Chains A and B, each alone.
Chain A
Amino acid sequence: MRPFDFQRADGLDHASQLCADGDSKPIAGGTNLIDLMKLQVETPQTLVDIHRLPMGQIADTDDGGLRIGALASNTATAVHDRVRSDYPLLARAILAGASQQLRNKATTGGNLCQRTRCYYFMNIDQPCNKREPGSGCGALKGIARLHAVLGTSDQCIATYPGDMAVAMSALGATVEIADTSGKSRSVAVRDFHCLPGDTPWRDNVLEEGELITAVILPPPVEARQLYRKVRERSSYAFAMVSVAAVVALEDGRFSRADLAFGGLAHKPWHDPRLSELLLNKEPSAQLFDEAADVLLDSAQGYGENDFKIPLARRTLAAVLAEATGMEL
């Protein structure tokens, strides 16, 4: 690990000021950042310890939603009574990721900001436009098993690796962000992460010095909530494809179909055309296939990850069938 200055933030404003310098990084759980610092993928001049700031609460909002503090651990969120009863999708997605040891340390804010596990990003001897802009993308013509099939660019085909944010995207959650002047702004989880485009080094919309303070879940709705994660072993592995679904039927037709996907793109993938297609229609195998056509109409494989395209189609169909009580 490269040497760094270690600073303890004694409040949110102090933390924002300390983090405003581009060479500083906030640290809370540290499970991703310390790993990347050991690999010298991350080499901050200053680490700003925010883990003892009072931002770990999980509390009801006035309108019946839930505010999950940025420093709430993944474990605290997954076992919270209201998360289990009203947002089971979120509990399931968190429990499907990492190990208990990691979930005990990982925080809401850190999980949203975790970096890709692309092998080329994590190896400083390899080219990577995300880590070293302009150095090229090793994955484009290399080992691309984990990689994206939607929203890629000729600069980067990395995936966002998390599960929690995929559930938050389907649930329509909002990220609450504080800037260096103490002002707060809100960004939908669906808009928080970026596509690589020509700026693959940019994972999300946070500006320098901005810190996530919470994620707000909207009031719960009457719906089936499912998280299906397909991976290469049954525990403690990243998603090849995952589907988060908030689905309801009325009179045998879809009255709600909020879907988000992990493992397919540089961000939790949400395509508003899917709910437009599904709403007010009766569930059927043919409809699910049409939904997959829409989801995947721009999908592109890179050799080793070609399998993700049919896998996403089948996983989507399986989740919609389970959510609507159909047998395929």
Chain B
Amino acid sequence: MPITINSQTYDLPDDPRVTLLDFLRHDLALPGTKKGCDHGQCGACTVLVDGMRINSCLSLAAMHDGDHVTTIEGLGTPAAPSKLQQAFVDYDGYQCGYCTPGQICSATAMLQEIANGWPSDASESLEGPMEASGAEIRERMSGNLCRCGAYANIVAAIEDVAAQEDPA
């Protein structure tokens, strides 16, 4: 079965060693997803698979047959950015920008997780509803590192979108 990426279908690579990250960047020329550490520690490679955020560097493309993958290119365009993409621009939620696609993909899924009432390590109660407080956002985004340290503005951008009535 082919893989669907940003609504287009593709055949999977022949070499089973190819990670989803390398498949996106090298084979499909979708370089928005970034390779930072390549070991699941930095989150720059975060993409959405059937709406769930994962590290694409730690996943074999061959294991994604039939999956629907959304990358930063699929979330919006410069002409029609998603709310989070626009908020990162408005709040200057980056310096060099290398971690930004991963941050935005991660935050997109995170807002849905909060809407689902899923708890985090920072949640006082395990039962929902969950709030998108600063402490919650920091904990829930801890899998995305920013080498420039733009965290304050990243959190501000996410908080702004989370406070909107329909964050999607």
Residues of chain A having any CB pair with chain B under 8 Å: 1, 3-6, 27, 30-31, 34-35, 38, 47, 49, 51, 75, 78-79, 84-85, 88, 91-92, 95-96, 98-102, 104-105, 234-236
Say yes or no: B17 contacts A101, CB within 8 Å. no
Measured in the bound complex, the distance between the Cα atoms of B59 and A85 in whole Å is 32
Q: A99-B143, A101-B43, A102-B143 are in contact. Are A34 and B121 (CB under 8 A)?
A: no
Q: List 10 A-B contacts (CB under 8 A).
A: A30-B59, A34-B19, A49-B63, A91-B126, A95-B123, A99-B142, A100-B109, A101-B54, A101-B106, A235-B138
Residues of chain B having any CB pair with chain A under 8 Å: 16-17, 19, 38-40, 43, 46, 52-55, 58-60, 62-63, 106, 109-110, 113, 116, 118-121, 123, 126-127, 138-140, 142-144
Q: A95-B119, A95-B121 are in contact. Are A104 and B54 (CB under 8 A)?
A: yes
Contacts of B60 in A (CB 8 A): 6, 27, 30, 34, 47
Contacts of A99 in B (CB 8 A): 43, 142-144
> A34 touches which one: B53, B59, B118, B138 (CB < 8 A)?
B59
Say yes or no: A100 contacts B38, CB within 8 Å. no
Measured in the bound complex, the distance between the Cα atoms of B58 and A5 in whole Å is 18
Say yes or no: A102 contacts B63, CB within 8 Å. no
Kindly list 8 other residue pairs between chains A and B, CB separation below 8 angstroms, not including A35-B40, A85-B126: A6-B62, A30-B58, A79-B119, A88-B126, A92-B126, A99-B144, A102-B55, A105-B55
Identity of the chain A residue whose Cβ is nearest the Cβ of B38 in the assembled complex:
A38
> A100 touches which one: B39, B62, B110 (CB < 8 A)?
B110
Question: How close is A320's CB to chain B, nearest CB, in angstroms?
Answer: 21
Say yes or no: B17 contacts A1, CB within 8 Å. yes
Identity of the chain A residue whose Cβ is nearest the Cβ of B45 in the assembled complex:
A101
Measured in the bound complex, the distance between the Cα atoms of B67 and A54 in whole Å is 17
Say yes or no: B63 contacts A84, CB within 8 Å. no
Q: A31-B58, A95-B119 are in contact. Are A100 and B143 (CB under 8 A)?
A: yes
Question: How close is B85's CB to chain A, nearest CB, in angstroms?
Answer: 19
Contacts of B110 in A (CB 8 A): 100
Question: How close is B160's CB to chain A, nearest CB, in angstroms?
Answer: 21
Measured in the bound complex, the distance between the Cα atoms of B149 and A235 in whole Å is 16
Question: How close is A55's CB to chain B, nearest CB, in angstroms?
Answer: 16
Say yes or no: B113 contacts A34, CB within 8 Å. no
Q: A51-B63, A95-B121, A102-B55 are in contact. Are A84 and B140 (CB under 8 A)?
A: no
Measured in the bound complex, the distance between the Cα atoms of B53 and A98 in whole Å is 13
Identity of the chain B residue whose Cβ is nearest the Cβ of A91 in the assembled complex:
B126
Say yes or no: B126 contacts A105, CB within 8 Å. no
